[in-house]
Amino acid sequence: MTRMFLALIAGGLFGAGLFISGMTDTSKVQGWLDVFGNWDPTLAFVMGGAIIPMAIAWLLTNGRKPIVGGEFPAPPEPKLGRNLVLGSILFGIGWGLAGLCPGPAVASLSYGGWPHWVFFAAMLAGMVLAPLARAQLDSAVPAE
Amino acid sequence: MLNTIPTDWLYGLGGGLLIGLGGAVFLLGNGRVMGASGILGGLVDGSGKSNMAERLAFLAGVFLMPVLLYPMFSDVDTHATTNIAVLIAAGLCVGVGTRLANGCTSGHGVCGISRLSLRGIVATVFYIMAGGLTVVLFRHLLGVI
């Protein structure tokens, strides 16, 4: 039960932060990416603001356990594979096209209108297809 | 001094702090990395069966807080495109790409960079560059978005 409650609180803070920061406004996201247009630096403030508490949280994991028990996630292997690079490029293309990424896509569903539902449905479809895309890539050129 | 800083930047910073706080609660409380694409993706591709309820509770929070906040703010507009082809193409790219890369702006960006993860930093560099080039190409050269 504590686990569900904390997940709801974490999600609520995340959703509130996305709403207040303006990151569900696609014009602000595209404005940040548009370095040759009317560049909007807001996203840098959002990222900077988010990284501060998160960096403190990572420091606090030292020598502790999560409140609900278990272990903290181990540091990822510093391996830079093809999937990381190709996936990030593909994600960036979609992010630039619509100005939405997964978190804001969920946060904006209630007030963004039908375009957000179309994007959200297509994104979920992409997530369902992703294992297939990964398998195709691996059979074409084995990873690493 | 405060009135020389654009309000949007202050809202950005404040909202950013809340986002990071959410990530901190999820990490220190549940021992989990707050990555929106991973939490959603695990629900739809079946890889997250073991902690379905936790994922749903998190997503409920993300969805519901803006419902509560929306009436308190005026002139909230997301300026989303109404070009269905663009929306579908963009959604597919974001869905496949974030799952292939194992993370998005929250997982790689916020949670990865804050622990100085090389993967998180590299992913962020690539998606920002790709996003920037996409906007330049589709807005300034093709005039589609």
How many domains would you assign to chain B?
1
| Subunit contact B90:A90, Cβ cutoff 8 A | no
Can you tell me the ipTM of this complex?
0.96
Instruction: Tell me which amino acid residue B79 is.
Output: H
Nearest-Cα residue of chain A relative to residue B12: A21
Q: What pTM does this model have?
A: 0.96
pLDDT in tens, chain B (145 residues): 566 778 999 999 999 999 999 999 999 999 999 999 999 999 999 999 999 999 999 999 999 999 999 999 988 999 999 999 999 999 999 999 999 999 999 999 999 999 999 999 999 999 999 999 999 999 999 988 8
Q: For chain A, positions 3-32, list CB contacts with chain B under 8 A.
A: 3-28, 30
CB within 8 Å of chain A, chain B residues 85-144 = 86-102, 104-106, 108-115, 117-119, 122-124, 126-136, 138-140
Give the Cα separation of A114 and A131 in Å (integer): 27
DSSP A77: P
Give the DSSP per-residue string, B12-49. Answer: HHHHHHHHHHHHHHHHHHH-----HHHHHHHHHSSTTG
The residue range of the domain holding B71 is 2-141
| Chain B residues inside the 8 Å CB shell of A37 | 135, 139-140
Distance from CA of A64 to the nearest CA of B (A): 9
Q: CA distances (Å), A69 to each of A1, A72, B103, in order?
A: 13, 9, 24
